[in-house]
Amino acid sequence: MNIDELRNRVESEISSLKTLEDLKRVKASLLGRKGLFSEYLDTLKLLDKEEKKVFGKEINSLKAHTEARLKELEFFYIDDEKRKQDALSKIDITMPGKTPLLGKKHPITQTFEEIIRIFTSLGFSVAEGPDIEQEYYNFEALNIPKDHPARDMQDTFYVKPGVVLRTHTSPVQIRTMESQLPPVKIIAPGSVYRCDNDISHTPMFHQVEGLMVDKRIRFSDLKGVLSIFVHEIFGENTPLRFRPSYFPFTEPSAEVDIGCVICQGDGCRVCKETGWLEILGSGMVHPQVLRTVGYDPEEVTGFAFGMGVERIAMLKFGIDDIRQFYYNDIRFLSQF
């Protein structure tokens, strides 16, 4: 029996392999039931016991070796085949993908949510009140008596005598204090209305009111809380200042200005060359307002503030015309 001949034949068959098909054929012709190894093993029976043992061992070892090599080659050819197929189904990855539909919240809503996020993180809760409001809550209770200029018809929408569209969110201060005892720590976002319609006024706009009443609330606390707010919403390095002002329902009152976001304080058209932009009104709650809701100004003090949401959105996004918010033009809405 010639093992070398077997080895040579195996060697020549394997080295002639080129494809997966060849491999399958060669595998059958070598290892199949009627393959070469079977042939050799069959002839073993003709040998004597000693020879049988020697040749049998050699053949089986060669067979195992061949099997292993073919397996290896099979993996190689399968991978190769897959690569060829992948190449055939290749795509142009620069073709446009399918974007999901996008919707966005109105920039006023986005600004509202940002303001609310900041104040709720400072422990304020959110309160609400009606848009159609009694004159009492909109004016009298806020220390705006009957003969005050703010009561003029030209500013306030009337629904019927004694009932108005609220001109500010401040009535929520009164409603909240009437319904609970101190401490009070709320913000009140909402729509407000004034009879104005021109390039810088819309008949409806939005405000966020804030109120904090407790024992020993100081003007310095007002400065602290509003400074945190301004730095959160306009950035940590935004300069700000508190400037004396007048509101009937606060005393002392303060207007809060930030360094102009357009010109960085150098002076431009937006800030009227002053380098400062007014962004909110604030002050210590007037003792008369506290008395009106049955609080004792000797016991508790507080501060209140109010800001125009459009104003803040305009400064944040660089919008120069307030009416843009209400055209509802998709080319506007899709930018935010």
Partner 1 sequence: MKVPYEWLNEFVVLDVDPYELASRLTMRGFEVEAVEEYKPYLGGVCVGEVVKIDIHPNAKNLTVCKVRTEKEEFPIVCGAKNVKEGDKVPLAMVGSTLGGRFIIEKKEIRGIESLGMLCSEKELGLSDDHSGIFILPAEMKPGTKLEEMAGLRDFVFDINVPPNRGDCLSVYGIAREVGSILNQRAKLPMFKLNYSSDDEVKSLISLAINDTHACPRYVLRMITGVSMVSAPFWMKQRIQKCGMRPINAVVDVTNYVMLELGQPLHAFDYHSLKEKRIEVRVAEGDSVFKTLDGEDRGLVRGDILICDGSGPVAIAGIMGGENSEITDKTKDIALESAFFNPLFIRQTARRIGIRSEASMRFEKGIDLDSVDFAAERAIYLMNLTAGGSVVKGKQEIYEKKSGKSIFVSFGKIIDILGTPVEHNAIISSLRSVDLHVVKEEETGFVISIPNFRHDLDEYADIIEEVARIYGYDRIPATTPANASHSQKREKSGIFFKNAKDYFTACGFYELINFAFFSLKDIENFAISASDDRFLAVPIMNPISKDYEVMRTFIAPNILKAVAYNLNRGARNLRFFEMGKVFYAGHDTMPREYPSICLAMTGKEKDYFWRDACPEYDFFDIKGVLEGFETRFKVKFDFVKSNEPFLKEGRSADVLMERMKIGWVGEIEDNILSIYNIEQKVYCAELRFDIIMQKSITDIQYKAIPRYPQVTRDFAFLVEDTVPVTTMLEQIKTISPLITSIGVFDMFKKETKSIALRVVFQSYEETLTDETVNALQEIIIQKVAGIPGVKLRT
Contact mark string toward partner 1, 138..167, x via CB under 8 A: ---------x-x--xx---xxxx--x-x--
Q: How far is the CB of 315 from partner 1 (least distance, A)?
A: 18
- Alpha-carbon distance 215 to 184, whole Å? 10
CA distance to 162, 177, 194, 235, 268, per residue, from 166 (Å):
11, 18, 8, 32, 34
Where would I find the beta strands (DSSP E) of 88-180? 125-126, 132-134, 158-160, 163-165
- Eight-state DSSP code of residue 183: P
Q: Which is nearer to partner 1, 13 or 135 (CB)?
A: 135
Q: How far is the CB of 279 from partner 1 (least distance, A)?
A: 14
Residues within window 166-225 making contact with partner 1, judged by CB under 8 A: 183, 185, 191, 193, 195-197, 202-204, 212, 214-221, 223-225
Among the residues of 89-155, which ranges form H helices?
A: 107-121, 135-138
Q: Which is nearer to partner 1, 14 or 163 (CB)?
A: 163
Q: Which is nearer to partner 1, 50 or 92 (CB)?
A: 92
Residue 125 sits in the site that holds partner 1 (CB under 8 A)? yes
Residues within window 250-269 making contact with partner 1, judged by CB under 8 A: 251-255
- Alpha-carbon distance 233 to 111, whole Å? 9
Q: Are strands 240-247 and 250-259 parallel, antiparallel or unpaired?
A: antiparallel
User: Of residues 86, 100, 269, 294, which one binds partner 1 by CB under 8 A?
Assistant: 100
- Residues for the chain: how many in total? 336
Burial 33-59 (b: 16+ CB within 10 A, else e): eebbbeebeeeeeeeeeeeeeebeeeb
- Alpha-carbon distance 119 to 221, whole Å? 14
Q: Which is nearer to partner 1, 6 or 188 (CB)?
A: 188
Q: Which is nearer to partner 1, 30 or 188 (CB)?
A: 188
Q: How far is the CB of 171 from partner 1 (least distance, A)?
A: 13
Contact mark string toward partner 1, 264..303, x via CB under 8 A: --------xxx---------x-xxx------------x--
Contact mark string toward partner 1, 29..68, x via CB under 8 A: ----------------------------------------
Q: Which is nearer to partner 1, 32 or 183 (CB)?
A: 183
| CB 256, CB 272: distance < 8 Å | no
